[in-house]
Structure 1
Amino acid sequence: MRWTAWSLTVIVLVALSLWSLGACVNPGEPGTTSPAASSGAGTAPEAADSGAVDNAPAPGEVAKAPQGIALLPPESPPARLNSSYWRTDFSRRTVPWEEIISGGPPKDGIPAIDEPTFESPESAREWLSDRDPVILFEHDGHARAYPLAILIWHEIVNDTVGDLPVAVTFCPLCNASIVFERTFDGQVLDFGTTGLLRNSDLIMYDRQTETWWQQFIGQGIVGRYAGEQLTFRASQVISFGDFTARYPNGEVLARPAMPRTYGANPYTQYDSTAGQPFLFRGELDTRLPATERVVGIQLGDVVMAYPFSTVAELGVINDRLGDVPVVVFHKPGTASALDTRQISEGKDVGSVGVFDRRVDGQELTFVRNADGTFSDQETGSTWNILGEAVAGPLAGQRLERILAFDHFWFAWYAFFPQTALYQGS
């Protein structure tokens, strides 16, 4: 009965939230509807016309996407996916239709942010607390923070940092914060939300070809670019306080002028799910609770998940994945965006950082300090959660950040069932 009551509560809260998002969207308002959608459903995109792909297999062969992934036989999408609203090439797909379900809102019902504006950390302090979680992305001397208090309502920010077009994304149902390059196949793509899910994860689409992309793995699953792979960019979820301390002149995504209760969490207590997560139909691996946070890493053929609870207990994990010596840091002080109604009051889940623990060919071994910093045993240098040496013989050095993302365990296992799970040594 406890699970049933909780399910009803979450369903009502999320449904109301999603309904309000869709209800607030004005199809004629810039930034809320894809430019492609306004040209009329059923019209083939110009990009597809100019670059049609003839990938018909020979008898007995299986059609392959560019990455070598098998394309499924052409089959019309089911009526529930409202294919008449799309210009997607539905003859090309890599996943079964039954794995794709509606999340509630329609296409662009959760509006991506297409023209982001930024404010100073000092200005952002008027509405963000030190505990608020933000996605840190750095490029070419630019450091930007994207508060989950905003992304929880928009899920995608189409941005350009320095000279690099990127998509900063967040799927609340999987707790997946991921950054991609938007330059692909010689063009800059703009991403929007489909309103569809697979393994409870956001399915994005690009407005140029209306290919559907799986956010969790950055892969095209339906459309012209089915089987293609977006380029990941390393990022890190940290507290706003840690961002402002390190980047007092950095930039913080400003709240859009839309009727949203920024700072509020529409998925109250979602990360305390005691059973099947919302809209997830896959298999659960019971080694961890479904919504236990893990930091997931794929290095070549090695796939590993480190539970936040274990990293928090140890403070530091010195490990080796294949030939790469890695370190996983944990620092308390970052609130969960998916706990209490007010994000800033959420339980402390902390933040993690994953790095190659070699500096100039020397392999380092780390321990945590009581003040939230870390020290290497070889030189006694002091390091922060961002992998920067802030004191000691190596001051000024930076560890190489390893591509790693924070996720819920159920989602990581759904997309990487071959994963190993770190259980301590």
Structure 2
Amino acid sequence: MKRYFILVLLLILVCVVAALLFEGKRSSRLNDGLSRAALRNLTQGCGHKDCILAINNPSFESLENANSWLKDSDVVFGLSIPSSALYEEAGSFEQKSEQRLMGKPEFFIEKAYPKKILAWHQIVNDNFEGSLFSVTYCPVCGVANAFIGKVSDKNATFGVTGLILNSDLVMYDSVESSYWQQASGEPVFGPAVDRQENLSLLPIITTTWGQWKSKHPQTIVLSKETGFDNDYSVVLEDNFVSGLGSYSPDEVTDIRLDPFDIVYGIELRGVYKAYPSTYIESLDYGKEYVDEVGAKEVLLLKNADGQIVFSEKSSGEELEYLYGYWYAWSGIHSETEVF
């Protein structure tokens, strides 16, 4: 009986020590920057880190060559920026766009990244004369984004963590393995959280190949020669949207719109607003429309080539927008207004 009692005490002691060790590791993990809210909302995506492989050595081809396999209706993500936008010394994107830096000649970078390729890899780590930037796409939430490749003032590339937060891709960086939300460029885990560092965004648009090439005849295009044996004629996103794939949106609590409605989301002075794509598509070409975001007036304009421009009326400042599914936008910005 005495021996049995001692064994029970030893078992209890082992359980207590194990619990303390687990809690210590968990607390350490939380102290490393992963908030309790993020920890609770992170869900497993494709299984493990790098379960979807980024393109790290992209090759490009001419418009003429791309015409042989891209249809005018195919979706591409277009990047059209002055090369100075990538030079770290320049400051804000607006400042970089207006100056030539350190004797470096200005050069406009015009690149198209077909969705049918990005859907397979989600991240393309690219560069211009040694300045790194990454073009990203989350098939789960439908959002494309581009970032300057800098983390803690060091050159960085990005990869897929295999995790999802608010139905959005979570990336990791090559410098310190902080985790980043793809739709916003905000950190969710690691040293970057403590520094309150956000990734620097580059303006990228979602459009069709036909519209892009007509406006950017000098464009080059991400090649299908990626080094991977993928069939890029298969559009993976079709499976996500139809529910046949392994992903589905997290529990949707905001039912003001259908979860899979496409929206244009903007932010002005800390206020967020979503515009259904059905409304945007109904706008007349070349006509300005006025709306309010918070207490500020916003101008909406659909250019002759079909591109949408949002700007603050009082300052004329052009506003960046995110294009994606309602469930992802409302999951990230729960306080959003809706047109």
TM-score, normalised relative to structure 2:
0.75
Q: How does 1:309-348 map to 2 (within 5 A)?
A: 309-315=278-284, 317-321=289-293, 322-323=295-296, 325-329=298-302
SS, match of residue 225 in structure 1: helix
Q: Which has the higher helix share?
A: 2
Q: CA deviation at 1:77?
A: 5.3
C-alpha displacement at 1:320, in angstroms?
A: 4.3
**CA distance in 2: counterparts of 1:133 and 1:161, whole angstroms:** 24
Asked if the contact 1:76/1:91 (under 8 Å) is kept, the reply is no
Distance 1:209 1:89 in 2: 16
Specify the alignment match of 1:25 in structure 2. none
User: Contact (CA 8 Å) 1:139, 1:162: kept in 2 or not?
Assistant: no
Indicate conservation of the 8 Å contact 1:292/1:408, yes or no: yes
Contact 1:191 1:205 in 2 (8 A): yes
Taking CA–CA contacts closer than 8 Å with sequence separation of 6 or more, which of the two structures ends up with the larger relative contact order?
2
Does residue 257 in structure 1 map to residue 227 in structure 2? yes
**Can you list the C-alpha shifts for 1:27-71, whole angstroms capped at 9, x where unaligned?**
xxxxxxxxxxxxxxxxxxxxxxxxxxxxxxxxxxxxxxxxxxxxx
Write the mapping of 1:122-271 to structure 2, written as runs, cut at 5 A. 122-140=64-82, 141-161=108-128, 164-226=131-193, 227-255=196-224, 256-268=226-238, 270-271=240-241
> 2:237 is paired with a residue of what secondary structure?
coil
Find the structure with the greater CA-based Rg: 2
Partner of 1:57: none
Partner of 1:408: 325
2:34 to 77, 80, 93: 93
1:378 equivalent in structure 2: none
Give the CA deviation at 1:175.
Answer: 0.2
Q: Are the aligned partners of 2:151 and 2:173 in contact in 1 as well (CA < 8 Å)?
A: no
1:139-198 deviation per Cα after TM superposition (whole angstroms, max 9, x unaligned): 211111111111000001111246642111100000011111112322111100011111
Cα distance in structure 2, aligned partners of 1:362 and 1:198: 34
CA distance in 1, matches of 2:146, 2:304: 22
Q: What does residue 118 of structure 1 align with?
A: 60
179 and 207 in structure 1: CA distance in 2 versus 1, 3 angstrom threshold: same
Distance 1:266 1:282 in 2: 22
Whichever residue aligns with residue 250 of structure 2, its letter is R
Q: Which residue type is aligned with residue 221 of structure 2? A: V
Measure, in 2, the Cα distance between the counterparts of 1:90 and 1:357: 39
How high is the sequence identity, in percent, across the aligned residues? 28
Give me the whole-angstrom Cα distance separating, in 1, the residues matched to 2:171 and 2:138. Answer: 10
Q: 1:418 to 1:162 in 2, by over 3 A?
A: farther
Counterpart position of 1:55: none
When the two chains are superposed, the root-mean-square deviation of aligned CA atoms in Å is: 2.8
Secondary structure of the 2:192 match is: coil
| Contact 1:293/1:307 (<8 A) preserved | yes
Cα displacement (A) at 1:247: 1.6
Q: Which residue identity is paired with 1:327?
A: L
- 2:291 partner amino acid: D
Residues 290, 297 of structure 2: 8 Å contact kept: no
Shift of 1:129: 0.5
Q: Could you say if the C-alpha distance between residues 295 and 161 of structure 1 is closer, same or farther in structure 2, counting changes exceeding 3 Å?
A: farther
Partner Cα separation in structure 1 for residue 68 and residue 26 of structure 2: 47
| Mapped contact 1:220–1:229 kept (Cα < 8 A) | yes
Distance 1:174 1:91, change over 3 A: same
Give the match's secondary structure for 1:192. Answer: strand
- Compared CA separation, residues 148 and 306, structure 1 to 2 (3 A): same
Deviation at 1:269, TM superposition (A): 5.5
The SS at the match of 2:40 is: helix
Aligned-pair CA distance for 1:229: 1.0
SS of structure 2 residue aligned to 1:152 = helix
How many pairs align?
281
Q: Over residues 276-328 of structure 1, what are the superposed CA-to-partner deviations in whole Å (9 max), with x where a residue is unaligned?
A: x9443343321111010000001112211000011112346433445453214
Seen in structure 2, the aligned counterparts of structure 1 residues 318 and 329 have a Cα distance that, compared at 3 Å, is farther
The yes-or-no answer on 1:291 pairing with 2:260 is yes
Deviation at 1:235, TM superposition (A): 1.3
TM-score by length of 1: 0.61
Which stretches of structure 1, 4 residues or longer, exceed 6 Å deviation after superposition?
A: none
Give the direction of change, closer, same or farther, for the CA distance of 1:158–1:89 in structure 2 (3 Å limit).
farther
| 1:268 match: secondary structure | helix
